[in-house]
Structure 1
């Protein structure tokens, strides 16, 4: 490791206080992917930024492996402050994000997943967009480029650009805004950007249900909306923490996606294998916000086992639409869906479903 790269974050370069953006990279058991993510950051020129990497690997932290260590040295040689942290024991995704947010001091905080590569200029485009739009967050949904030949017009049909100021929105399952979520699947945004004939340097904001993988917040807005402090009311194994945090920000300040997306998903296997608890479902069903905490024991007794549309869609990959109920059930079973998901699909009306969005709507309607 080169001079100035300090384990446990014992020392940060003096220019850390002057950066415009803190890039926060949570990581676990992904040294190869982390190296690619850091290489993408090394290609960014503006604005000034620092990098905080927090590792929760069970064995050696990823940033000690040769490739990530080399890229950390590259960033430092460019004058970027790099802070390497080790954060154990694991208390869940939300707690890890709050841990990193608490260590961010820049005006803007970019949460960047450890399996996302950013094209040159992407960081500057996001920062400029956040300055111009003055909303709570902007994001670039990572694209899976193995899907470039897979056009999904049923999913891109929900695309809607912001034609005026980005304003606050309330997003909940079953609301019109929630139905935007398939927009970020596969390579949908790559297809939209091509269809819109965007010129070099041109970008447009659009409405989102939420954004995962590459989201830049105004740090003050994220903190004022509660951050990820709801982690105390979640079991360690959960997902969807970014969805809930963004919904809280959107209700106060609004949020937007940015086209073109300069983020590419590495399409590596997920390290989050237990997704049985969705953070937003657990917290919102119990009527909780960070300002109105209740004991965890009471929270768990109030849970409902009905799966939400997002959980169900995770088991329906590869379905060729239109598809009937039997096809949906069969696909979910082959994908290892649990009994709750199978029951929800078997309870749907017997008819042809034209798209993932129509399945999600049917599931939402059935649970009302």
Structure 2
């Protein structure tokens, strides 16, 4: 059994998913297991680009498991389903529209092993914003000692850390503070979207995404609430440089009226 399961929810993005899987095949730390939960109108396994990327991963001794998981009950339920398929002690939740530098997974595993906290995120960068400098959104608080538990609430000073992950702010900051993986810095977060590595036991101890039953089918912020609950018990952080880039496709979750951390308690 591998030490890492990579869990990917997907819905009607076969091209983007194929790109994401291809970047996983280039990771310097292998093997790992990939679990895909597919809620699209047509199975992703009917698309040649996805099947080919899966075959490349298997060529690298990475097991790939694809599940057709319908009907849709919202992203929290989709993530809980993925977690229930996991076997490894570490789980990396990865969105289906990202591109990872080859060192990303190895860097995250190294930080989680060193910090022994609940999760480590590698925040997503939108490269179309490379020329968009936003100094007023580039405040960063690095962990100078061990990562420790924190309680985050909506509107609190720590909540405003999310601004660092807007646009390409992190890219501009890491060019100054952590220009290469050899100069890794760990910093405090409000939450991290898209690419988050959990200690599975810590995530499950915090209830994981079991709160999906308390939400309507259309909701957002499920990853935020889960991270806040993990942070309160076990701590969490993010790492720079991130090396994770958004493909900048339209969201598959346009209705965000119900925001999980605003309607459920941490």
TM-score range, shorter chain: over 0.9
| Residue aligning to 1:44 | 27
Q: In structure 2, list runs of 5 or more residues that go unmatched.
A: none
- Alignment match, 2:119: 137
**Aligned counterparts of 1:165 and 1:85: Cα–Cα separation in 2:** 38
Question: What TM-score, normalized to structure 1?
Answer: 0.71
1:277 aligns with 2:252: no
Deviation at 1:49, TM superposition (A): 0.9
For residue 245 of structure 2, what is the aligned residue in structure 1? 264
1:26 has 2:9 as partner = yes
Q: Separation in 2 of the partners of 1:267 and 1:193?
A: 20
1:54 CA displacement? 0.7
Larger Rg: 1
2:3 and 2:90 in contact (8 A); partners too: yes
Q: Deviations over 1:183-232 (max 9, x none)?
A: 10111111111112534422110000000000000001000010000000
For residue 92 of structure 1, what is the aligned residue in structure 2? 74
Please say if residues 47 and 127 of structure 1, whose CA atoms lie closer than 8 Å, have aligned partners that are also in contact. Answer: no
Count of residues in correspondence between the two structures: 266
In 2, distance between residues paired with 1:119 and 1:109? Answer: 18
Is the contact between residue 98 and residue 247 of structure 2 (CA under 8 Å) also seen in structure 1? yes
Cα distance in 1, alignment partners of residues 30 and 48 from structure 2: 27
Question: Structure 1 residues 247, 197: closer, same or farther in 2, change over 3 A?
Answer: closer
Contact residue 21 and residue 47 of structure 1 kept, 8 A: no
CA distance in 1, matches of 2:171, 2:95: 19
Contact 2:178 2:240 in 1 (8 A): no
**Whole-Å Cα distance in 2 between the matches of residues 115 and 200 of structure 1?**
22
Residues in 1 aligned to 2:219 and 2:121: alpha-carbon distance in whole angstroms: 22
Root-mean-square deviation (Å):
1.0
Q: Deviations over 1:32-56 (max 9, x none)?
A: 1001100110001214311001100
Name stretches of at least 5 consecutive residues in structure 1 with no aligned partner: 1-17, 290-368
Higher relative contact order at CA 8 Å, sep ≥6: structure 1 or structure 2?
Answer: 2
Question: Which whole-Å CA distance do the structure 2 matches of 1:113 and 1:282 have between them?
Answer: 24
* Rounded Cα–Cα distance in structure 2 between residues aligned with 1:89 and 1:53: 15
| Cα distance in 1 for residues equivalent to 2:68 and 2:156 | 39
Are residue 231 (structure 1) and residue 192 (structure 2) matched?
A: no
Report how far residue 262 of structure 1 moved: 1.4
* CA offset digits 1:8-40 (Å, max 9, x no partner): xxxxxxxxxx21110000000101100110011
Please identify runs of 4+ aligned residues in structure 1 that moved more than 6 A. Answer: none
TM-score, scaled to structure 2: 0.98
